Amino acid sequence: MRVPEGFVVLRDGIVLRRGHENEIDDFLAVAWPPPAADVPAVVPGGRGTTRRIALSDGGTAYVRRYVHGGLLGALLGDRYWQRPPRPVRELAATEAARRAGVVAPEVLAALVRPAAPAGLLYRAALVTRALEGRRALADALRAADDPATRHAWIACAVRAVRRLHAAGIHHPDLNAANVLVGGRPEDDAALIDFDRADVGRLPAGAARVALARRRLSRSIAKLGLPGLDRAAAAAALDAAGLGAGT
């Protein structure tokens, strides 16, 4: 299995960032706690089971288990069969984004454990370092006092998305929760949740850019903010440089 520089492959296909070897057992225990274990509470929001964990260097990480939704969730729950394992692919896409200059979480580990039937299925989790001092684009838009400030936050998000597309990376779930902004619209936005992201030809094709625009505009419109319905959100993305033809 090929992994990005700075990572090592351990037992069962676990991929770990070098320097965190002494924490692998803690990561596994939080992802799949033994019965009656004292583990951190699940972080609210999202479909899976995400928990916070303190790191030995004083930082904080999130341990996010993968769980199917919909019909697959009813059939398989948290068991997967894709190869290479899903968290390893997310790790690779996240690292590719970081190398391209996109602000994205530092992945510490892609956790994999066998599941029945043996040799066919597995359970998985991803460990990422927390991005401190940031909030979701959705929260920034809700807190903005005027249309100009909202458009500045949208432009901030677009700059990050354009950098991602320039590197040939397609994020399939760009929404107002997966874009994290800093204290000012001038600061670089961060992108999170690269599950099912694709690293393809450079730059990303027009169809994928249009898909990202459609997904993000729909997400912004769902916030129900004055003057930001679906058409207005799409126009704001166009004005910031994420037009359907860019």
Q: What is the pLDDT of residues 167-198, one digit of tens each?
A: 999 999 999 999 999 999 999 999 999 999 99
Task: Round to whole Å and give the CA distance between 33 and 139.
Answer: 32
| Partners of residue 198 on adjacent β-strands | 170
> Domain coordinates of the chain in residue numbers?
9-129, 135-240
Instruction: For residue 112, give Cα distances in angstroms to 19, 23, 146, 205.
Output: 19, 15, 46, 32
Given a cut of 60, whether residue 246 has pLDDT beyond it is no
Under DSSP, the state recorded for 117 is S
Given a cut of 90, whether residue 119 has pLDDT beyond it is no
Q: Which residue has the higher pLDDT, 77 or 46?
A: 77
Task: Round to whole Å and give the CA distance between 56 and 99.
Answer: 25
Nearest to 13 by CA among 64, 78, 86, 62: 86
| Percent of the chain residues topping a pLDDT of 90 | 78
- What is the full DSSP assignment across 4-61? -TTEEE-GGG-EEETT-GGGHHHHHHHHSPPTT---PPBPSSSSS-EEEEE-TTS-EE
Q: pLDDT tens digits for 15-66?
A: 999 999 999 999 999 999 988 788 888 898 665 689 999 999 999 999 999 9
pTM: 0.92
Q: What's residue 244's pLDDT?
A: 56
Q: What's residue 71's pLDDT?
A: 81
Q: Is residue 101 helix, strand or coil? A: coil
Task: Annotate 183-211 with b (16+ C-beta within 10 A) or e (fewer).
Answer: eebeeebbbbbbbebebeeebbeeebbeb
Span 53-82, average pLDDT = 89
Quote the distance between the C-alpha of residue 9 and its chain's center.
22
Residue type, 236: A
Rounded-to-10 torsion of CA 92, 4, 201, 211: 20
Residue type, 123: R
CATH for 135-240 (1.10.580.10, 1.10.510.10, 1.10.1040.10, 1.50.10.20): 1.10.510.10
In the β-sheet with 107-115, what is the strand arrangement from edge to edge?
7-9, 15-17, 107-115, 121-129, 60-65, 50-54
Q: Which residue has the higher pLDDT, 11 or 151?
A: 151
Given a cut of 60, whether residue 245 has pLDDT beyond it is no
Positions annotated as catalytic residues are: 173
Quote the distance between the C-alpha of residue 64 and its chain's center.
10
Q: What's residue 69's pLDDT?
A: 81
Given a cut of 90, whether residue 204 has pLDDT beyond it is no
Given a cut of 90, whether residue 227 has pLDDT beyond it is yes
Q: pLDDT tens digits for 138-168?
A: 999 999 999 999 999 999 999 999 999 999 9
